[in-house]
Amino acid sequence: MQCEKPFSQACENNKRAILGVLERTFANCKQVLEIGSGTGQHAVFFAEHLPHLIWHTSDQPQYHSGAQAWLAEASLDNISAPVAFTVGRDDFPHIDVDGVFTANTAHIMQKEEAKLLMELIASNLPQNGVFCQYGPFTHRGKFTSQSNQAFHLSLIERGYGGYRDIDELTAWAGELSLKEVIDMPANNHMLIWQKR
């Protein structure tokens, strides 16, 4: 039986703004791994608009059926079925990629998981590989808005890790250099990292 397609309004709201960045940053990439593909909406939209790429999806297994429903309907030949990847539990996916994308994952993860993710990406990307990290972050301990601070506190209360600071991520990034911090809609940022 076909799973009903899940829907994220946040994905719908931010996909065009993110695509505008990825068109440039992934222009020379051939294979991109998305970490935390969630509903699969982003994967389908980006694969459709970046036909030069093979877009690889990954997430915790409980989200796979929903993502598969989006992938099945889209029927694109440059997108792959989700692989199981839970940071701290699974090995980094054995896929030969030159780009990594993740959206709205760092503030959900616990601090040690976010640190491990940065280290895994740094060690698995090839030289000059690109990592595009989207979401809300603090910078030098400061929130971009009061609503961001309130959301951070609500995440902590619900047992999530909360916002990560850009300086903190940089300290964990190893061979990844932070090339750009791009202001995005709704008080989000896109961090563009490149493997030295």
Residue 8 confidence class, pLDDT cut points 50, 70, 90: very high
Q: What is the pLDDT of residues 95-121, one digit of tens each?
A: 999 999 999 999 999 999 999 999 999
Predicted pLDDT at 7: 95
Predicted pLDDT at 4: 81
What's the pTM value of the predicted model, to 2 decimals? Answer: 0.96
Q: Which residues of 131-161 are buried (b: 16+ CB within 10 A; e: fewer)?
A: bbbbbbbbeeeebbeeebeebbeebeeeeeb
Collapse the DSSP code of 165 into the 3-class scheme (helix H, G, I; strand E, B; otherwise coil) and give the result. strand
The CA distance from 178 to 158, in Å, is 30
The CATH architecture annotation of domain 9-195 reads 3-Layer(aba) Sandwich (3.40)
Collapse the DSSP code of 48 into the 3-class scheme (helix H, G, I; strand E, B; otherwise coil) and give the result. helix
Q: What is the pLDDT of residues 80-93, one digit of tens each?
A: 999 999 999 999 99
What's the chain's average pLDDT?
A: 96
Predicted pLDDT at 2: 54
List the chain domain ranges: 9-195
Q: What is the pLDDT of residues 144-184, one digit of tens each?
A: 999 999 999 999 999 999 999 999 999 999 999 999 999 99
Predicted pLDDT at 1: 44
The CA distance from 167 to 137, in Å, is 10
Residues 43 and 56 sit within 8 Å (Cβ to Cβ): no
Look at residue 14 and tell me whether its pLDDT is greater than 70.
Answer: yes
Decide the pairing of beta strands 99-103 and 130-135. Answer: parallel
Q: What is the pLDDT of residues 118-133, one digit of tens each?
A: 999 999 999 999 999 9
Predicted pLDDT at 3: 62
